[in-house]
C-alpha cells in the first residue's frame, strides 16, 4: 500500500464501475432527468455513488488503522473527493433528483446530552440512591 497513489485508486474505481447495477442515463437518453422512467433504455449500469463513497471511507479508515500516516493516505486525497463529488452530481442529474446533504440535528443532540448530565448529577446527589456510593477518605 505504500506505493499506492490516488491515480491507482481512481483507476480502481473506474474498473469497479463496469460491475455496477445502477442505471445512469446519459444526456442524450429520452429518460435523462426522470426519477422513474416509464420504460427500458440502453444506458449503462454503473456503481452507485453511495457504494463508492462507503468503500472509499472503509479503505481510508483501514489504511490508517494499519499504520499508514493520514497525510499520505491515497484514499483521502482531494482528487478522490472530487471524483466522488462528480459521480454524485452526475447520477443525481441523470435521475432528476438533486442531492441534498443531510443536516445533523445538533440542537437535539445537545439537549439530549444536557438532559443525561442532569439525570446523572441528580442521581448522584440523592442520599443512598447511587449504585456506586462515594467512599469516605481513610
The residue extents of the domains of the chain are: 6-107
Which runs of E-coded beta strand occur in 11-99?
22-23, 45-46
Q: Are 59 and 1 in contact (CB under 8 A)?
A: no
17-21's contacts with Cβ under 8 Å and 24+ in sequence apart are: 17/46, 17/47, 19/47, 20/45, 20/46, 20/47, 20/48, 20/51, 21/45, 21/48
How many Å apart are CA 74 and CA 82, to the nearest integer?
13
Contact present, 75 and 52 (Cβ < 8 Å) = no
Tens digit of pLDDT for each residue in 72-125?
999 999 999 999 999 999 888 888 766 566 666 666 666 666 666 555 555 444
Q: 0.75 exceeded by the pTM? A: no
Cβ neighbours for 38, distance < 8 A, ≥ 6 positions apart: 31
Does residue 126 carry a pLDDT above 50? no
Tens of pLDDT, residues 19-67: 989 888 888 888 888 888 888 888 888 999 999 999 999 999 999 999 9
Contact between residue 84 and residue 77 where contact means Cβ atoms under 8 Å apart: no
Amino acid at each position: 500500500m505504500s506505493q499506492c497513489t490516488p491515480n491507482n485508486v481512481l483507476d480502481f474505481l473506474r474498473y469497479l464501475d463496469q460491475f455496477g447495477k445502477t442505471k445512469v442515463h446519459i444526456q442524450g437518453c429520452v429518460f435523462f432527468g426522470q426519477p422513474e422512467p416509464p420504460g427500458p433504455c440502453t444506458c449503462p449500469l454503473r456503481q452507485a455513488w453511495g457504494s463508492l463513497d462507503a468503500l472509499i471511507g472503509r479503505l481510508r479508515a483501514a489504511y490508517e488503522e494499519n499504520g499508514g500516516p493520514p497525510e499520505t493516505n491515497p484514499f483521502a486525497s482531494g482528487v478522490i473527493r472530487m471524483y466522488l463529488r462528480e459521480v454524485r452530481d452526475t447520477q443525481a442529474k441523470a435521475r432528476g433528483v438533486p442531492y441534498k446533504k443531510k443536516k445533523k440535528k445538533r440542537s437535539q443532540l445537545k439537549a439530549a446530552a444536557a438532559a443525561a448530565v442532569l439525570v446523572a448529577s441528580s442521581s448522584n446527589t440523592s442520599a443512598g440512591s447511587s449504585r456506586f456510593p462515594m467512599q469516605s477518605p481513610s
